[in-house]
Structure 1
Amino acid sequence: MTSTWHRDTLSIDQHLALTTAANNLAREFDGTFGAETIERFLHASYDEFAGRAVVLNYLPLLAERFARQRLRALAKVEGRSSDSRPVVLFLCTHNAGRSQMALGFFTALTGDRAIGWSGGSTPGSAVNPAAIAAMAEVGIDISGEFPKPWTDEVVQAADAVITMGCGDACPVFPGRRYEEWAIADPDALTVDDVRPIRDEIERRVRALVAELVPATPA
């Protein structure tokens, strides 16, 4: 197995955290994927964030979360999952503003009736503070989210792919539903300027949910 993860550069705490992450994923995907596949995805996810992480202590947690998402996507693509819930993927350039706000609304509106993911063509280092503040005003906390790329299995597992400004970099796979939302980039804007963007995203997400996600039985 080839990886740029050099274990001798990790602290003892990081070693322990990654071992715990690998054990968590092994339990969750027991019977679905073997240890080699799980470790490969975990190591690749760690490498993805290592080059641009702001707080190194969070790296193992981010790696585990991203590896979990990728493994769930792979399970669906390969027919190893019985989860029939619709999956929507929100994409923008940095995965730090528009796609994170869209995911926040989607998750709040659908609960466990659907699965929402997000990604960016050139992921930033942190979610836009103005986007976090604007979403907090409507009772949605996206402060725990993190910018991440998209991967082939994540795109292929999605039933609908919503793009917001990633242009030619946006991935295209046959059989997916694609929508391009023309929404301004909130990067470097104030909270006052982000509010109209937030409200437009909410309007679009509500319409998407009404169309794609079955309502909860009365």
Structure 2
Amino acid sequence: MTNHDTDPTRLAFVCVQNAGRSQMSAAFAERERDRRGLDAEVEILTGGTHPADHVHEPVVNAMADAGVDIADRTPRAITEAELQSADYVATMGCSTLDVGTVGPDTEVRDWDLEDPDGKDPERVREIRDEIAARVEALFDEATATTAAHSE
């Protein structure tokens, strides 16, 4: 999926706390990578600018309802080096990213998603489903871009 023969495409999912939207995004990206058989071609990163202590419980529950277990995940900081090396960076609509911190060829997507923290379970599931669709679309785009570069 990259322009390079051996380098994996790096997808980064970033928000402030890395405790909700970006965790869901990374988990769905891992599932999508597995579904498409792209384990060697895609690397997935996630992190926050000010990580929380734990993933929000309603997010863990909503993901479990979708068959994805993220109960053991811990929010972490995203590094500038990780952002610099990413091919695609998806921010969650929380203005976490100074565009100067990404690489010159990085495709940045601001998904402008509502923060699920403190929302009722139905709303968290709606946000989860929107994230799943956006992750799938990002994979479609990255795959199409790679195919176009390899022709």
> The TM-score by the shorter chain falls in which range?
0.7 to 0.9
Q: Which letter does structure 2 place at the counterpart of 1:177? A: E
Counterparts of 1:98 and 1:152, CA distance in 2: 20
Q: Which residue of 1 aligns with 2:8?
A: 85
The residue number in structure 1 matching 2:58 is 130
Report the alpha carbon displacement of residue 213 of structure 1 after superposing the two structures with TM.
3.6
Letter in 2 for 1:194: V
Q: How many angstroms apart in 1 are the aligned matches of 2:69 and 2:143?
A: 22
Extract unaligned runs of 5+ from structure 1.
1-81
The amino acid across from 1:170 in the alignment is L
Alignment of 1:27-176 (within 5 A): 83-111=6-34, 112=39, 113-167=41-95, 169-172=96-99, 173=102, 174-176=104-106
TM-score of the two chains, using structure 2 as the length reference = 0.81
Tell me if the contact between 1:86 and 1:213 (Cα under 8 Å) persists in the aligned partners.
no
Q: RMSD of the alignment, in Å?
A: 1.8
Inter-partner Cα distance in structure 1 for 2:143 and 2:64: 24
Could you report, residue by residue, the CA deviation over 1:122-167 in whole angstroms, capped at 9, with x for unpaired residues? Answer: 1111001111111111111111211111111110111001011231
Question: Aligned residues, how many?
Answer: 133
* Equivalent position of 2:111 in the other structure: 181
Deviation, 1:118, is 0.7
Q: Which blocks of at least 5 consecutive residues in structure 2 are unaligned?
A: 145-151
2:125 to 189, 195, 206: 195
Q: Whose strand proportion is higher, 1 or 2? A: 2
Change (3 A) 1:152 1:138: same
Residue 171 of structure 1 aligns with an amino acid whose one-letter code is D
Q: CA deviation at 1:83?
A: 4.6
Structure number, greater radius of gyration:
1
Corresponding residue SS for 1:146: coil
Higher-RCO chain (CA-CA 8 Å, sequence separation at least 6): 2
Q: Is the 8 A contact 2:94 2:112 kept in 1?
A: no
Question: Quick check: 1:90–1:99 contact (8 Å CA) kept in 2?
Answer: yes
- The offset of 1:171, in angstroms, is 3.4
